[in-house]
Amino acid sequence: MIENHHARVDTDAMLDDLRTLVEIESPSRDLDAIGASAAAVATVIEKRLGGQATLIDSAAGPHVHWSGGGSPRVLVLGHHDTVFPLGTLERRPFRVEGGRAFGPGVFDMLGGLVQAVHGLAALDDLSGVEILVTADEEVGSAASRALIEERARACGHVLVFEGAAEGGGLKTARKGCGSFEVRITGRASHAGLEPEAGVNALVEAAHQVLAVQALSRPDLGTTVSPTVASAGTSDNVIPAQATVWVDVRVESAEEKDRVEAAFAGLTPRLEGAALTVRGGVNRPPLPESASRTLFATARELLPGIEGVAVGGGSDGNFTGALGIPTLDGLGAVGGGAHADHEFLLVDAMAERANLVTGLVGAIRNGRAE
């Protein structure tokens, strides 16, 4: 039995740090905002853990990296970008009310970052611990994936501080996810005078929507969902252009390959129409096998905690797909990710920080192998 010595955490101090991070808005792709957010994250880490956090520049803005020194054993992984545009804070300021903290990004995933840092601060020795907080998780992690995979391979264990599953469960498996863009080129003509002279890109798009929808295999956990479409310029013109965006979720590498091959093989149905397909399943599935050992350790530390397979992706998908032990959903307990009612439960913050302390201690002592 692994004992979980309760971390010496201060919930009020965690809320102070959470307020600091929330009140520096950090929408993805806004480089000025992301830069300010990265500096704030680095300051919180240095204040609580000592040492020096490094800002790693990228096309998406700075990532934050911190090391406790020694041979790397565990990577604490998170992100500081959020989905909310600048100005959201004015409309929805940080507040604590009725046992809940509210504000843009509290659940996804600034609360998790704060809990991780405070849980680590309770350890007497931080050697072997690394923290990586990336700048572009919400937009696909194109500028951070290589760095994530490099540090995960070096550390050998990954703890991901995305928000918990409903009810506080840990995320032990995730679907692979991605998106495709299907562009259709037709030929414009007057819809009243000579409709037959045109090639209707909107009609071709309708054919393609049905074709890609048919790729879904719910029995295998695969969903292929057309989500956004645009076409046309005027109600009396046969449209020459149309675009369809499609969300894809898969549970296995085999389904990833099947769906990607099917998109690559799409062909036009109307004579004279042309297709261009872009995209792919950019986050591979996170298999349950990658979390099995770490989840067992978590259950010894916090008996009764549940493990849940979810459809959404995270940066843990990258590390788990490499076969590196990865446990996700260690962050805030709450809900409303990406929504105006986003919140975290204040009373759960100390318990989750304690879990960080116990997991990192078990990994460094070789008890989570």
Both 146 and 41 in one domain: the answer is yes
Query: What b/e sequence results for 283-302 when a residue is b if at least 16 CB atoms lie within 10 Å of its CB, and e otherwise?
Result: bbbbbeebbeebbebbebbb
Pairing mode, if any, of strands 223-231 and 158-160?
unpaired
Q: Cis before residue 349, ω within 30 degrees of 0?
A: no
Is 189 part of any domain?
A: yes
Both 146 and 267 in one domain: the answer is no
Both 159 and 199 in one domain: the answer is no
Is 4 part of any domain?
A: no
Q: Is the pLDDT of residue 1 over 50?
A: no
Q: Is the pLDDT of residue 5 over 80?
A: no
Both 91 and 206 in one domain: the answer is no
Give the pLDDT score at 6: 55
Among 253, 283, 313, the domain-final residue is: 283
For position 196, which CATH number holds?
3.30.70.360
Q: Is the pLDDT of residue 282 over 90?
A: yes
Both 138 and 38 in one domain: the answer is yes
**Which runs of E-coded beta strand occur in the chain?**
54-56, 63-67, 74-79, 95-97, 100-102, 129-134, 158-160, 170-174, 176-185, 189-190, 223-231, 237-238, 241-250, 274-283, 307-310, 326-327, 334-335, 343-345
For 8-12, what is the mean pLDDT?
91
- What tokens appear for 209 in the block? 């929507």
Is 185 part of any domain?
A: yes
Number of domains in the chain: 2
Both 83 and 194 in one domain: the answer is no
- 315 Cβ contact list (under 8 Å, min separation 6): 77, 79, 134, 137, 141, 144, 145, 148, 160
Is 205 part of any domain?
A: yes
> How many other CB atoms are found less than 10 A from the CB of residue 335?
19
- The catalytic residues are 81, 137
Both 314 and 250 in one domain: the answer is no
Q: Is the pLDDT of residue 313 over 70?
A: yes
Q: How confident is the model at residue 197 (pLDDT cuts 50, 70, 90)?
A: very high
Give the pLDDT score at 317: 97
For the stretch 68-110, pLDDT in tens is: 999 999 999 999 999 999 999 999 999 999 999 999 999 999 9
Both 289 and 164 in one domain: the answer is yes
Counted residue by residue, the chain has a size of: 369
Both 152 and 266 in one domain: the answer is no
For 133-149, what is the mean pLDDT?
97
Both 18 and 163 in one domain: the answer is yes
For 263-279, what is the mean pLDDT?
98
Q: Is the pLDDT of residue 4 over 80?
A: no
Among 283, 318, 350, the domain-final residue is: 283
Q: Is the pLDDT of residue 355 over 80?
A: yes
- What tokens appear for 363 in the block? 């990994």
Q: Is the pLDDT of residue 3 over 90?
A: no
Both 134 and 79 in one domain: the answer is yes
Is 1 part of any domain?
A: no
Q: Is the pLDDT of residue 152 over 80?
A: yes
Structural domain including 111 reads 11-175+285-364
Among 259, 283, 307, the domain-final residue is: 283
Is 253 part of any domain?
A: yes
**pTM more than 0.85:** yes
Tell me which DSSP letter residue 85 carries: P
Rounded-to-integer distance, Cα 202 and Cα 244, Å? 10
Q: How confident is the model at residue 7 (pLDDT cuts 50, 70, 90)?
A: low
Is 3 part of any domain?
A: no
Average pLDDT, the chain: 96
For position 344, which CATH number holds?
3.40.630.10
For the stretch 158-190, pLDDT in tens is: 999 999 999 999 999 999 999 999 999 999 999
Residue 186 CB-density burial (10 A; 0-12 exposed, 13-18 middle, 19+ buried): buried
Is 142 part of any domain?
A: yes
- What tokens appear for 140 in the block? 């696909």
Both 22 and 86 in one domain: the answer is yes
Rounded-to-integer distance, Cα 328 and Cα 294, Å? 10
